[in-house]
Amino acid sequence: MNTRPPLLFALHGTQEYAARVARHMALELAELEERAFEDGEHKTRALTSVESRNAVVFHALYGDDERSVNDKLCRLLFFCGALKDAGARHVEVVAPYLCYARKERRTQFQDPIITRYVAALFEACRVDRLTTFEVHNLAAFDNAFRIPTRHIESAELFAAHFTQLPGDVDLVAVSPDAGGAKRAESFRRALERHIGRAVGSAYMEKYRSNDIVTGTMLVGDVHERIAIIVDDLISTGGTLLRAGEACRKAGARQVHAAAAHGLFTGGPEILESPVFDQLVITDTVPPFRLPSELVSRRLTVLDSSAMVAAALKSEYG
């Protein structure tokens, strides 16, 4: 039995996050080399022997100003293949944010199911396990991957944060669409455990066709209550804004929003809106698209690295 601790590697852009996970595990990141060539090709190699070792590779798969989603995915897969070629016993990927998780089903004629194709690429590069944080659709994620996977929910992290809300006002967990009802319910139950009293539930109707979103009906009572809207990510922010506005119109005393991944592809509009009393995300995607002053004033970023470290420690000891 291999009792040595795993080697932890972090690719460019995820080193700071991985270093925090490593500190929680009382480990240090292993060294690697990333090289880019003149024609746009690249290679990454470990500078520590991985022969018969367990290796954990961190890479958050979101696009930024330096590298696209596809570039990051390609670099990750090639590096995992290189680790296996070098004799690594077990290679696990930790992707705090997993790309293409939203394209998990056909919505139009001959649509691709890209989540499944990404899963096939992981398998082809001999990745032994994938750990990720709050995917868009857990059932689709489980069905797409044939390798062992581990899904870390954001519910407990958000529930612990929202215990600070006033104790004399009823709370309601709100899903911004029916598809996210299970996520909101998981958060609602976690929040009940943390505060020791009942938490209500509500959801918004939402219909999407060719990127046009409709539906304004709010199902559930938020009147004179504190509404907490929970989602997996903020992209343009339109979905959360619709839900927040509906809660305000329905008489909510306060409206808060929490999403695991803050992409903010629509810019700062959602943070500038007076609809929300508080916006909360985790650190899986740095809010690099937003002005730093606005982030410090309007956005709360929760540290998810301890949860990831705890999951890895339960596997590797």
Give residue-wise pLDDT tens across range 167-185: 999 999 999 998 899 999 9
| CB of 226 closer than 8 Å to CB of 171 | yes
pLDDT at 210 over 80: no
State the DSSP code for 29.
Answer: B
CB 197, CB 226: distance < 8 Å: no
Q: What is the pLDDT of residue 107?
A: 85
Residue 193 pLDDT: 97
Q: Sorting pLDDT into bands at 50, 70 and 90, what band is 1?
A: very low
Which residues carry out catalysis? 206
Burial, 249: exposed, middle or buried (Cβ in 10 Å; 0-12, 13-18, 19+)?
Answer: exposed
**Strands of the chain, DSSP E:** 7-10, 32-36, 42-46, 54-58, 90-95, 129-133, 149-152, 171-175, 200-204, 207-209, 212-214, 218-219, 226-234, 254-262, 278-282, 299-302
**Segment 39-74, tens digit of pLDDT:** 989 999 999 999 999 999 999 999 999 999 999 999
Provide mean pLDDT across the span 31-45.
95
Give the model confidence (pLDDT) of 94-153 as tens digits. 999 999 999 988 888 999 999 999 999 999 999 999 999 999 999 999 999 999 999 999
pLDDT at 217 over 90: no
pLDDT computed for residue 237 by the predictor: 94
Could you report the per-residue pLDDT of 154-169, keeping only the tens digit for each?
999 999 999 999 999 9
What pairing do the DSSP bridges indicate for beta strands 218-219 and 200-204? Answer: antiparallel
**Average confidence score pLDDT of the chain:** 94
Q: What is the pLDDT of residue 130?
A: 98
The pLDDT value recorded for residue 146 is: 96
Residue-wise burial string across 23-51, b where 16 or more C-beta atoms lie within 10 A, e elsewhere: ebbebebbebeeeeeeeeebebebeeebe
Which domains, from first to last, does the chain contain? 5-151 (3.40.50.2020), 153-301 (3.40.50.2020)
Q: Is the pLDDT of residue 263 over 80?
A: yes
